[in-house]
Structure 1
C-alpha cells in the first residue's frame, strides 16, 4: 500500500472535513497521500505539505457551468486523477462524493472505502438518492460506519467488509483540566444551521435564566441562522446572557472551565463537539438524536444526560438539575472523560490503518 487517495467535497469547517484532514495528515507521514476535493479553494484545516491536494473544479467556467456539464467534467477529472496516480485505495466521505465514486467504480479498478458521517435518513432523504445509494453501495469494497444505527439503515443491501470506527479527537482535548471551580457558563459548539437546533437551547435557557442569574449561554459557531437566532435572543431580552460567539480556533480553552456543555441537535452522526467536551471532562447533556451517535457515547445518568429530540421541557429539567447540583454534574463529567480511551487519535488511526490494509489485501486476492 503506497498511495492513499481521500476524497471529500471541501476542507472547510465541518466534522467530516476535520476527520478526513486529520487522517490525511497522519497517513502522509507514512504513505503518499492525495486529497481530492470537489470544489476549489483553501480549506480551514491545515494540510501537511507532503499531501498532494487536487480539486475537480479549477477554472472559472466550472462555477458557471450547468449542473450536468459540471458533473460530467468532474467525473472526467476524477478518472484522470486515478489514472495518473494509481492509488492503492480510494477513501471517500459525504453523500454526493460517495455516490460519485460508486457510480465511477467499474471504471476505476481501485478498491473503494466509503464512510457515512451523518444520519443516512437525512443524507438520502429523497427517493432518488435512496434508490441510488441502495443500488450502488454493493460496489464498495469497504464501509466505515460511525454508529450501529447507520449500519442498520443499509442492512441487506451490501456484502462489503464493514466496521464501526469513532472519530479521532485533537490531542489538545486530552489534557488534564486545571484544578478549580467551573465558570457559570453553559456552552455549545456547532454551525448555526437548522440541524443543530440552537433555538431549542436558547428557549430552554430562557426558562431557567431567572433561577440562575449568574449563568450565561455561549454558542460557538457561524452559519445562516445567525440573524434569526439573535432575534430570538433579543425577544427574550437576554442579550446580556446569551452570546453568539462565532468561530474560535482555541475552542478547548473556552470549553474546559465551563459548567455544562449541551448538544441540542435534531440529528448527528457522531458529534465531534460532544466527544471533545466529554474528553475535557465537562458535564454534558445531549438530545438522543438519530443516528445514535449521542446514545453510543452517553450512558444516561452515568457520564451525561440524554433527552428526547426537540423536547424543550426535558432539556429544561436536565439543565436545571445539572446547574442546581454541581457535585452531581462534576461526577458525570469525571466519568465522561473516560471516552478519551476510545477516541484517542492513535487508537483511531490504528483502526483505520488495519481496515484499509484488510480491504486492499482482499482486493489483491480477488485480482489474483
Structure 2
C-alpha cells in the first residue's frame, strides 16, 4: 500500500548497502525509529552485502539459494529479484518479510561492456526513476558520492534532499573533482547534517547556513551504569579492520608493554578487508597468543564492558560510534586526535586520553598510565559515561524527527 493511500509521510534513506559500518548502523537505527513513529520508510541501496545489519521490521527477505522455488513449485514469489555485486548473485524477496514494514529498493545496474560515461548515465537514470516510482516526501542520503547523486537525481522532482557527511570531508571527497562536485551540488540540498561543529567549520559561509549538527545516537545496549568492579586485564578496540583504523598502532603500542604486563591481552572486535594482513602482522611479531581477533559479534557491549580500557587508533573519523559507545559504558578510553575537534568528545585527562595520530610512544605511555593507576582510569571512565545524557536514542531521534518535520512542511 502506498504512502499516498495511508496518509503516512514517506522517507527514503539512500546508502550503498547495509554492510556493518558506522554510517550504516545509524541509518538502520533511523529507519527503525521513523517506522516505529508511523512513517513509511524505504531503504534505497545500490546492492546487498554479505554482512549486513539486521533490520528487525524489514518487509524484504534474503532467500537461501536452496529454497528458491523451481518452475514446478507451488510457492509463488512474485517479488523475488536478483541482486548482483561483483558477479555474486543474491535473491531477495521484496515482500517476504513483515507486511507494512520497512521497504527496500536496489539500484545496482549491469554495466558490462559500458564505458564510464554510459555507465554513469545509466546509474543516474536508474536512481532518478526510483525517486519517480516511490515518490518520497524526503530523501536522506549518507556518504560521499551518494550525496551528490541524491541531490542531482532529485533536483527537478521537487523532493527535498538532506545529505549527511559521516566522516571528514577529505575522506568522503578525496579527489579534486569530487570536492568540486560536492561544492556544486550541496547548495541545492534542503539541508546538510553533520556530526560535529568542527566539521561545519570546514564549509563556506553559504553552506554553513544549511548545516544542522546531529550527533549519532547510540544503541540502547550501551546505556547502562558503568561497571565498578575489578576490570579485566584486557585492552579492547572495536571497528572495521582497514587502513584508516590503523590497528597497527595499537598492536605496536601493546608490543612495547607486553613484557611489563604479561597478564594483559589485546582483543580486536570487528572485521574488514585488512584482517588477514593484520593477522599476519601480529603473527610476525610473535603476538598471536596475546592479540586475539574476536570478529563481529552481536553482543559487543556485554563483551567489552569489563575491559581494562578501550583504544581508538584511527587516522580520520567524523564522530566515531565505537568511541561513543565505549564512553557510554564507562570504559577508560584512549583516542588519537582523528576528528576535526576531538575535544567535542574527549577532553584530555578529564574523560579520556588523547594522543597524536600514529604516535606509538604517546599511545604506549597512555596505556601504561591507564594500567598503573586504577583510580585515574576509573575516574576517566565514570566521567566519560556522562555522554549518555547527550546521545541517548530518544534524545537524538527526536531531534532528527523535528528536523525532518520542519523540512517536509
Q: Taking structure 1 as the reference length, what is the TM-score of the superposition?
A: 0.93
Q: Which residue of 2 is the match for residue 134 of structure 1?
A: 183
Q: Which residues of 2 match residues 130-169 of structure 1 at below 5 A?
A: 130-158=179-207, 160-169=209-218
Mapped partners of 1:344, 1:296: distance in 2: 16
**Which segments of 5 or more consecutive residues in structure 1 lack a partner in the other structure?**
362-368
Q: 1:71 aligns with which of 120, 144, 164?
A: 120
- Shift of residue 232, structure 1, vs aligned partner: 2.2
1:240 and 1:63, CA in 2 relative to 1: closer, same or farther beyond 3 A?
farther
Residue matched to 1:366: none
1:278, distance to aligned residue in structure 2 (A): 0.5
Q: Offset at 1:26?
A: 0.7
Q: Please name the residue that 1:23 is paired with.
A: 30
Q: Which residue number in structure 2 is paired with residue 212 of structure 1? A: 261
Q: Which structure has greater helix proportion?
A: 1
C-alpha contact (below 8 Å) 1:196/1:264 kept by paired residues: yes
Runs of 4 or more, structure 1, over 6 Å off, are none
Q: Against the structure 1 CA distance between its residues 40 and 107, is the aligned structure 2 distance closer, same or farther, given a 3 Å change threshold?
A: farther
Structure-2 separation of matches of 1:42 and 1:222: 12
Matched residue, 2:370? 322
Note the alpha carbon deviations across 1:8-64, whole angstroms, 9 max, x for none: 11101110000001000110121001110022456611222311111102x6x3577
Quick check: 1:34–1:52 contact (8 Å CA) kept in 2? yes
How many residues get paired? 358
Q: Secondary structure at the match of 1:183?
A: coil
Distance 1:221 1:66, change over 3 A: farther
Q: 1:331 to 1:154 in 2, by over 3 A?
A: same
Q: Distance in 1 between matches of 2:51 and 2:241?
A: 19
For the structure 1 residues 263 and 76, does the alpha-carbon distance in structure 2 shift closer, same or farther, using more than 3 Å as the test? same
Residues 216 and 7 (structure 1), Cα distance of their counterparts in 2 relative to 1, 3 Å cut: same
**Using the alignment, how far apart are the partners of 2:253 and 2:396 within structure 1?**
35
1:138–1:160 contact (8 Å) kept in structure 2: no
Give the Cα separation in 1 of the matches to 2:106 and 2:112.
13
Structure number with greater Rg is 2
The match for 1:53 is 104
Q: Quick one: distance in 1 between partners of 2:273 and 2:52?
A: 18
Pair 1:34 & 2:82 matched: no
Distance 2:294 2:335 in 1: 20
- Counterparts of 1:185 and 1:65, CA distance in 2: 52
| Matches of 1:181 and 1:64, distance apart in 2 | 61
- Alignment-derived partner of residue 61 in structure 2: none
Name the CA shift for 1:163/1:102 in 2 (closer, same or farther; >3 Å): same
